[in-house]
Structure 1
Amino acid sequence: MTITDLQTLKENIEADAIEVSQQLGFEEVEFVFMKYGATSLDDLAPSDYSSVFNELESLLNN
């Protein structure tokens, strides 16, 4: 994955996290990050970006 791809995923995670927080509460976002050993986007491993993005998208689409 290129740096541009990672940056795009990071931006998409950020946007989805805001939307999930507004719709479902920040606890939902925290739970997703915690599953990957992170407390926020800043300490999320880039290798987990795709998985976290997919989970946040899933929450928004249910």
Structure 2
Amino acid sequence: MNTSPCCAPSRARAVPGLADYAATKAGLVGYTRGVAHDLARRGITGAVLDSNGGHTA
């Protein structure tokens, strides 16, 4: 499981000074999806936890 706090592709927007951070997070999401796809036939899953994805209370 990986965490991706703010820059998932579905919410991508430009934030001044954070291009390197956004690119890294987008890469992490893409990597995790790729690994999940590659290992699914073995019953191994992958997930990205988006900590800004919703309310927890």
So what's the TM-score if we normalise by structure 2? 0.44
* TM, length-normalised to structure 1: 0.41
Structure with a larger share of its residues in helix: 1
Larger radius of gyration between Structure 1 and Structure 2: 2
